[in-house]
Amino acid sequence: MPICIPDTLPAVDVLRNENIFVMASSRAQSQEIRPLKVLFLNLMPKKIETENQFLRLLSNSSLQVDIQLLRIDQRSSKNTPTEHLNSFYCDFEDIKEQNFDGLIITGAPLGKVSFDDVIYWSKLKEIILWAKEHVTSTLFVCWAVQAALNILYGLPKMTREQKLSGVYSHNITHPQATLTRGFDDSFLAPHSRYADFPSDVIRDKTDLIILAESEITGAYLMATKDRRMAFVTGHPEYDSFTLANEYFRDIQAGINPTIPENYFPENNPQLEPKAKWRSHAYLLFSNWLNYYVYQLTPYDLKTRNLTID
């Protein structure tokens, strides 16, 4: 089944050119199907690029998914046209009385910024706490994981001295877990962050189950026992060139970044990188939609109290 998005969203043409089944909202309204309602809070600067990356992964499922794009506030964006934001994104006040099957909160380039200095911190906290009552399952990605660990568990901001950038191997810790069903015992995933997620701290200070980790990256996949929240500390949604684009951008900015590990062939930035994590990324999102959203959510979202005990 397809993902359902607005007819004129740029991702429609992008995904169809990749032979991905996309259903425009005009057609979906004529079908007698209860699609999954997934809210997508996009905190990344390049909104359209991020939309394409996540919508691509959400498309690889037998479930029909109705996507609602959400912005954190109405501030103008340097990287996304205001017309695009006004046309396709809603504000929290527009949907806060509704219930949703799923919520995805993306990362943000705020690795070195104190939580108190994040201009939308109070609004983000409101949305995360709101989700406990209004969303069946929430998926946090990269910086959003760090924010959620502080808001939900009181963990302080933990920051690495050097940016973690590259493609790293991770090991499954619970072979029977539904979120990692079908994964290889070890798999690759990209990271690009200053945030630190030491496995021992997660185990000691939270009730989260670590589903995949590595000595280099720390905890990679985590979840609550009731599957109502899942946490991904890396960027499985990244395209093959995303890390390269970040690397060359930082060079132009005079940051003198290190070469992303295990990414460029022969560690040579002049050679074209290849995505080595794509199958894992598709499977991760398919498992989340099936086992954490579809299998848990009520048919009628209006008739059930979604409060997490």
Q: What is the pLDDT of residue 305?
A: 55
Q: Has 214 been labeled as part of a binding site? A: no
pLDDT value at 5 more than 80: no
Q: What is the mean pLDDT of residues 90-95?
A: 97
Residue 15, both tokens: 């995904």
Question: Which residue among the candidates 4, 51, 191, 237 is catalytic per the annotation?
Answer: 237
Least confident piece of the model among 11-25, 94-108, 208-222, 282-296: 11-25
Question: What is the rounded CA–CA span in Å between residue 47 and residue 102?
Answer: 19
| pLDDT range class, residue 1, cuts 50, 70, 90 | very low
| Predicted TM-score of the model (pTM) | 0.90
Query: Is the CB of residue 61 less than 8 Å from the CB of residue 1?
Result: yes
Q: Has 279 been labeled as part of a binding site? A: no
DSSP class of residue 282 equals H
Respond yes or no: is residue 142 known to be catalytic.
yes
How much of the chain exceeds pLDDT 70, in percent? 91
**Residue-range domain boundaries for the chain:** 3-158+194-236+278-303
| pLDDT range class, residue 308, cuts 50, 70, 90 | very low
Respond yes or no: is residue 32 known to be catalytic.
no
Q: What is the pLDDT of residue 283?
A: 97
Q: Has 192 been labeled as part of a binding site? A: yes
Question: Which residue among the candidates 213, 235, 246, 280 is catalytic per the annotation?
Answer: 235
Fold assignment, 3-158+194-236+278-303: Rossmann fold (3.40.50)
Question: What is the rounded CA–CA span in Å between residue 205 and residue 130?
Answer: 23
Question: Which residue among the candidates 4, 134, 142, 213 is catalytic per the annotation?
Answer: 142
Question: What is the rounded CA–CA span in Å between residue 88 and residue 218?
Answer: 36
Residue 270, both tokens: 């002049």
Cα 211 to chain center, whole Å?
Answer: 16
Query: Is the CB of residue 150 less than 8 Å from the CB of residue 129?
Result: no
Q: What is the pLDDT of residue 34?
A: 81
Query: Is the CB of residue 40 less than 8 Å from the CB of residue 57?
Result: no
Least confident piece of the model among 71-75, 261-265, 289-293: 71-75
Q: What is the mean pLDDT of residues 303-309?
A: 51
Sign of the CA dihedral 246, 249, 255, 256? Answer: positive
The model's pLDDT over 6-60, given as tens digits with 9 standing for 90+, comes to: 777 887 777 677 656 565 555 545 445 689 999 999 999 999 999 999 999 998 8
Question: What is the rounded CA–CA span in Å between residue 221 and residue 262?
Answer: 20
